[in-house]
Chain A
Amino acid sequence: MFYIFCPYCGEHREEEEFHPKGQAHISRPADPEATSDEEWGDYLFFRDNPRGVHHELWVHAVGCRKFFNITRHTVSYEILEVYKMGEQPSITAEHYAAQQGAASADKERNASQAKHQEGVRA
């Protein structure tokens, strides 16, 4: 079970109150008449299926009934952030990868330091 923070109710609620509504930030082509069949097909039918950071649309169906966005990690299921409609995510795949890279570099540095210290102690 997810425990999801609704940005409109301002508190965490059980997952059963929510419904996922697919990929977020899909905008309808501004000028459908001038849109090629391929572009229209992409808009209607094609969705990203990333391994990692994904921006999703959710609705607080049994609650305030408002739509909002969730940035979720599709491998760990971790909810990285929640933001209202019309807002942009602060965590993106690139941002997340850079952060993870920095974190693992930190870890390595700490590990080598620990080894070093142990070496000193021994």
Chain B
Amino acid sequence: MSNAQQFDTRPAGEHASEIAVESPLAYSMHRSGAPKVKADTRVTLRERAFLGHLTLRGGAIVLDEALRDVLGMSLPGEPLGLVQASFDGPAGECSIQWLSPDEWLLIVPGGEEFDVERRLREALGDAHFAISNVSGGQTLLELKGEAAREVLMKSVAYDVHPRHFPVGKAVTTVFAKASVILRRPSEERWELVVRRSFADYTYRWLLDAGEEFGIGVER
């Protein structure tokens, strides 16, 4: 076990209620509004706030082994890969994606990240690695519906044609004038992992780009 200090960013107990938890989009939804899903809505947007985001760095072999031990899932075998699994424990799913040759993004159900990080540290022992809890720094947006791909085509230069962007692919690329992690977990669903400081910009861009498709926001 390394001697790295870990702290729970979501303290439980008597003081838990004193600390207001706000999604990066709390202000945006208040200020820019959230159009309702209508009959002619062809794309819907949903924020999946407060998930646990962990950045894992280190060698693929040791991390893969630890991840199998702790969560029963393996690292994606190829660059730009995305692997999903159901989370044993509270309801939810978790995913792990390739970010660079020595870096992966693990997303677990909200509230589980502290425990998962601790168990990973235990499993990794003295291996050369780094785990950072980046949950507070980014948020996940979900884009669904028949026009989801068209909204993306207006926003990213990256080729999102199914032939080039199959299910299970994940890339970091330019979105409008910001950067975004774009993932395709299933046929009809796209996910965007955005930086907290760019969440408002991305949200408003999506509302604007999705207007012609009657974009609706699920809350």
Contacts and interface: CB of A to CB of B under 8 A. Distances in A.
Contact of A17 (B80, B99, B173): B173
A8 B174 contact: no
B54 to A, nearest CB: 18
A38 to B, nearest CB: 38
A110 B146 CA distance: 56
B86 interface: no
Contacts of B103: 64
B179 interface: yes
List 6 tightest A-B contacts by C-beta distance, closest first.
Answer: A64-B100, A62-B179, A14-B157, A10-B79, A63-B172, A62-B174
A11 B100 CA distance: 13
Given A64-B101, A65-B100, A9 B80 contact: yes
A16 interface: yes
Contacts of B99: 64
Q: How large is the interface on B (under 10, 10 to 19, 20 to 34, 35 or more residues)?
A: 10 to 19
A73 interface: no
A17 B174 contact: yes
A11 B170 CA distance: 13
Please classify the interface of chain A as helix (H, G, I), strand (E, B), loop, or mixed, using the class held by over half of its residues. Answer: loop
Given A9-B79, A10-B79, A11-B80, A62 B157 contact: no
B171 interface: yes
Nearest to A64: B100
A80 B178 CA distance: 30
Given A64-B100, A66-B100, A8 B173 contact: no
B50 interface: no
Contacts of B179: 62
A72 interface: no
B157 A16 contact: yes
Contacts of A64: 79, 99-101, 103, 172
**How many interface residues does chain A have, given as a range?**
10 to 19
Contacts of B158: 13-14
Given A65-B100, A66-B101, A16 B80 contact: no
B174 A10 contact: no
14 contacts: A8-B79, A8-B101, A9-B80, A9-B171, A10-B78, A10-B79, A13-B158, A14-B157, A14-B158, A62-B179, A63-B173, A64-B101, A64-B172, A66-B100
Contact of A62 (B78, B79, B101, B173): B173
Contacts of A10: 78-80
B100 A62 contact: no
A16 B79 contact: no
A55 B179 CA distance: 28
A8 B60 CA distance: 14
Of the candidates A8, A11, A64, the one having the most CB atoms from chain B within 10 angstroms of its own CB is A64
A14 B79 CA distance: 18
Interface in A44-72: 62-66
A42 B174 CA distance: 37
A66 B102 CA distance: 10
A21 B52 CA distance: 35
A83 to B, nearest CB: 15
Interface in B168-193: 171-174, 179
